Amino acid sequence: MTKRTGIVKGNIFLTHIPGEGCPDTPERLQSIYSMLTDPDMQDIFVDVLPQRAAKEDILLFHTHEYVEKIAETKGKSLIAFTGDTHASENTFEAALHATGGLLNAISLVAAKKIENAFALIRPPGHHAEKSRAMGYCLFNHVVLGAMFAQERLKLGRILIIDWDIHHGNGTQHAFQRDPTVLFFSVHQAGLFPGTGSFTDTGSGAGEGYTINLPIPKGSGDAEYAAIFEQLLAPVAEQFAPELILVSAGFDIHSDDPMGGMRLTAEGFAAMTASIKKIADTVCNGKFVMSLEGGYHCDALSGSVKAVLKEMAGVTHCDVSAMAAKADKKKMAFIVRRCIDVHKHSWNFS
């Protein structure tokens, strides 16, 4: 089998200790890294080094003052940025390597040295704003990845998909006026951070290039598969990105303590299969995932395994069959609401 899926992993990400009571524990990644040693995961993937991001790459999005503020936490025991977001002595280096690992993966995918990649990193990123840490996030890796791809690799349009249970406020705000980046977020309605309503669609030149789907709790594999098939796929094909980035949060799993979604490993495989099909259609298969949430270790490792097998072509999920089982009432509301808001920007038929 040709190895075409890269994995970013490293012990540096285990050294970020965010303080007692924070769900973003090193054990999250330890469970994934342990799963990667399973017999059925051998000789399939390419290791991608988690290189340290250069300061100028972090400054593509974050302010100089903010980066210095994070750098000052180096070697200190515990610094609180918000009630839930802390840094300790090794956090700055872990965050730099998390961004750097994702940028390395994007570079390899853009150069066609690998087909796709998954950055299994922490701390996560999608809540981080230009000059503000929040929601366990310090540097917004996916925002930096998109800006790096455009500025350094000279790519044009980027599609960012965010399936975390929480809305990626930092990502939305970074690109809300930018028509070269399409942000598509599916998240549970009514949760932190309170952003991401259906009518948040971008502004100015970026109007219509933000698509938010705050969906009801209790949605599961079939509903997510249907959303990707019915709403994401047609828009993505019209937008025709040159690269797809995914903020992959696993806190929508039915066992996760964060919310009330009902996904299983099969649902994550279906979303991945749908994204892979879109990528094959529009951008020669080029997509890169970055780990966001997911706080039940067994559910996290099992779901990441399902995603990686789909990425590598070991499994082939029948997305249409899964989507056909979606709750018709729930889907009618979601589809109607999305089309009502975006009908002047995109053709969903």
Coil vs helix vs strand at 320 = helix
SS3 266: helix
Among left, alpha and beta (phi > 0; psi -120 to 50; other), residue 75 is left
Question: For 190-296, where are the alpha helices, taking DSSP H only?
Answer: 221-227, 233-239, 265-282
Active-site entry in 62, 86, 127, 173: 127
Q: Can you tell me the distance from the alpha carbon of 244 to that of 104, in angstroms, rounded to the nearest whole number?
A: 15
Nearest CA among 324, 302, 306 for reference residue 316: 306
Between CA 90 and CA 81 the distance in angstroms is: 15
Query: Per DSSP, which regions of 88-242 are E strands?
Result: 116-119, 158-162, 181-188, 210-215
| 127 has catalytic annotation | yes
The Cα 112–Cα 284 span in angstroms is 9
Instruction: Tell me the C-alpha to C-alpha distance, in Å, between residue 142 and each of 1, 139, 162, 173, 257.
Output: 29, 9, 10, 13, 24
In this structure, what token pair is assigned to residue 192? 């932190």
Going from the C-alpha of 317 to that of each of 117, 300, 313, 314, the distances in angstroms are 18, 19, 10, 10
Give the catalytic positions in this structure.
Answer: 127
